[in-house]
A = this chain, B = another copy of it.
Amino acid sequence: MFPDGETVAPAVTAVFTAVLTEGPISRVALARRLDLSSAAVTKAARPLIEMGYLEELAATERTGPGAGRPASPLVIRADREFFVGVKITGDELIGVVCDLGAQVRASAHRRLAAADLDYVLTQLGELVDDLLDGPGDYRARTRRLGLAVSGDVDHSTGLVRYSPFLRWRDVPLRERAEKATGLTVTVENDVKALTTAEHWFGEGVGAESFALVTVGAGIGCGLVVNGRLVSGSHGVAGEIGHVGFDVNGPACHCGSRGCVEAVAGTDAIIRDAGLRFDDAVAAARAGDERVGAVFARAGEAIGCGIAAVANLVGPDRIVVSGEGLSAYDLFEPHIRAGFQRQAFGAAADCPLSIRPLPFEEWARGAATVSIKALVGQ
């Protein structure tokens, strides 16, 4: 962690993380929040301020009775350090530079003509150079790169065990990418990266448990329980797309029938509508009832899958997003209906945010993972 890999006290990590995700926040508030003495917070904050990661904000408006010394809230110095995040897909690299507050400062992408490792690494190196040496002069203050890859990824070793889209097996991606870029690299599964981003910097802030559902070609889910990301012991977790919806439904590529993904994945919609995805969206928007019903059923299936998550782990809040939600307007009410139908008891009260995914969000997730690595988590 931090400039030269020194280990730091737990309280320092805790304070940094809390300011990062919940700042600006005063020392007393931190002490309450983290169950520490205010003395401990003062001590933990000092080195962070000295290293330039935090700064004190001028006291602003008061909250309490009105008497007493006003708090001096701590905030991140967002431009203290920058982070590169790159999402690697089968045919494209999407890269961003984020500041410490996970705000996107620059972005770039490259089409990939192939998926073989050496070629991808060359392209990655060039993409990172483009980002860091372009306008903004980020190079000097950037040490870390986060990579987001779909599939089975061992975050702790940086090994890509298996990525179907890239057709990679047991690729030591961290090691190779560090050589190719000269940066300290962190590798994570793409959905988990996005989940972390949303948990630390998005709508999941402060949640003890949280779920992020991505809707697209596949339907996935990242899970935070008891404040920690769920990994799944066999490398499988969050496969909401293969929760059952209709035993008698259409065959799924997984071998079963009627999985959520077999009803609501992009391919399923193309199949049921008999149109390309964009055309189906257009038709439904134009009022085609038959195609509209396809989206309705798909949305309902997604909602039922989400309800399964709510029923099983009971998260504080759920965010639904993904490139499939470019057709947000067609899905949204049906996702909610499916969720309400299937959520049991108080699970139905779980707040559900449904919204399309901004471009670059996946790459921002990758950058977030490298911020998390800086903090040492």
Nearest residue, chain B, Cβ from A240: B312
Q: Does A243 lie within 8 Å of B246, measured CB to CB?
A: no
Q: How far is the CB of A177 from chain B (nearest CB, A)?
A: 25
Query: B residues within 8 A CB of A221?
Result: 312
A side interface size, CB within 8 A = 52
Q: Does A234 lie within 8 Å of B349, measured CB to CB?
A: yes
Tell me if A214 is interfacial: C-beta within 8 Å of chain B.
no
Tell me if A254 is interfacial: C-beta within 8 Å of chain B.
yes
Query: B residues within 8 A CB of A185?
Result: none
Which of B237, B249, B310, B342 contacts A314, CB < 8 Å? B237
Q: Does A240 lie within 8 Å of B313, measured CB to CB?
A: no
Q: Which residues in window 223-271 of A have CB below 8 A to B? A: 223, 225-226, 228, 230-249, 254-256, 259
Q: How far is the CB of A229 from chain B (nearest CB, A)?
A: 9
Q: Which residues in window 189-220 of A have CB below 8 A to B? A: 208-209
A234 to B207, CA, bound (A): 12
Question: 4 tightest A-B contacts by CB?
Answer: A232-B314, A239-B311, A234-B346, A242-B344
A–B pairs, 12, beta carbons within 8 Å = A209-B233, A232-B347, A234-B346, A234-B347, A236-B314, A238-B312, A243-B308, A244-B244, A244-B304, A246-B247, A309-B312, A313-B313
Tell me if A341 is interfacial: C-beta within 8 Å of chain B.
yes
Tell me if A95 is interfacial: C-beta within 8 Å of chain B.
no
Tell me if A73 is interfacial: C-beta within 8 Å of chain B.
no
A342 to B262, CA, bound (A): 12
Q: Does A316 lie within 8 Å of B244, measured CB to CB?
A: no
Q: Does B240 lie within 8 Å of A311, measured CB to CB?
A: yes
Nearest residue, chain B, Cβ from A314: B232
Q: Does A223 lie within 8 Å of B341, measured CB to CB?
A: no
A296 to B85, CA, bound (A): 49
A162 to B85, CA, bound (A): 47
Tell me if A350 is interfacial: C-beta within 8 Å of chain B.
yes
A166 to B243, CA, bound (A): 33
A241 to B311, CA, bound (A): 9
A316 to B345, CA, bound (A): 28
Tell me if A307 is interfacial: C-beta within 8 Å of chain B.
yes
Tell me if A292 is interfacial: C-beta within 8 Å of chain B.
no
A199 to B96, CA, bound (A): 43
